[in-house]
Structure 1
Amino acid sequence: MTVPALRRTGISMDQDTALANPLTLAVVTPAAAFTGAMTPILGPLRAGAGTAGSIDLWAAGALMIGAIPVVLVLRRRPPQVSDTAHAVGFMILVFASGAAVAAL
């Protein structure tokens, strides 16, 4: 979903595909750090607390907080990723996602 979201901002397809996979890692890392830092402070949440349907609001908020500065930086200076590296990385992520879903 990263590429369609970036396309709506008017970024070229070359920049979209270059940003998509690195952006995912860059967004998840600060979000995981934020969530890990807040868990001992706030304690474990009750079952059902902090959710809206099946959406974990803590995780969504942490992703947004981590994503905004990363998007601003990477939009101005997109990383140079070769087509081969992008294709290989994309396929690794697709297979890893499929394996994770199959394991559930």
Structure 2
Amino acid sequence: MKVRDYISANLELWSVEVSDSLIDAELINVDLNGDSEYNPELEVKTNTLFYNLIPKLLLRAKNVSEGGYSITYDNESMISFYGILADMLGLPNKLIKNKIRDKSNLW
């Protein structure tokens, strides 16, 4: 299995279609060759690719409907997977929304 096929297969889990040019750009960003054979040693690089790609995928519309046909994307599963990737890679979870809470009553 080629690296590009591995990435495409994983994206199909979310029913997401990504252009070849975007995949090529992300492969370059993590120093991977899409035509090389996938092996478990490349897991960190492929996980980094998904870490970089998921925020871009979340920018698309969540619901698409046309002529009685409707598609709803499950963004929550991507957000959860992104959090897992961030923890595994030791990188910040950029999708967490920090909230300021008033704790003055505890003083």
Normalized against structure 1, the TM-score is what?
0.31
Select the structure that is richer in helix.
Answer: 1
Q: Which has the larger radius of gyration?
A: 2
Normalized against structure 2, the TM-score is what?
0.31
For CA contacts below 8 A with separation 6 or more, give which structure has more relative contact order. 1
